[in-house]
Amino acid sequence: MEIWPTWQLPDVRHILIHVLTEVACHSGHFDAVRELIDGTTWLGGNPYAG
């Protein structure tokens, strides 16, 4: 019994583009949450300064 009989795996390029866009989107969300928590932004100078 097939659950999705007409579904086919797209090419690897399609999968990689989808994964990269999802990672970029969620990384932006995590960065916004971090800014809300600690109050620093990348625009305020060197984020690695003590």
- Which segments within the chain are labelled E, that is strand? none
3 state SS of 9:
coil
5 membership: H or E segment, kind and range: none
pLDDT score recorded for residue 41: 72
Q: Name all contacts of 6-13 with Cβ < 8 Å and 24+ positions apart.
A: none
Q: Cβ–Cβ contacts within 10 Å for residue 34, how many?
A: 13
Per-residue pLDDT of the chain (50 residues; tens, 9 = 90+): 677 778 776 888 988 888 888 888 888 888 888 888 877 776 666 656 65
pTM: 0.50
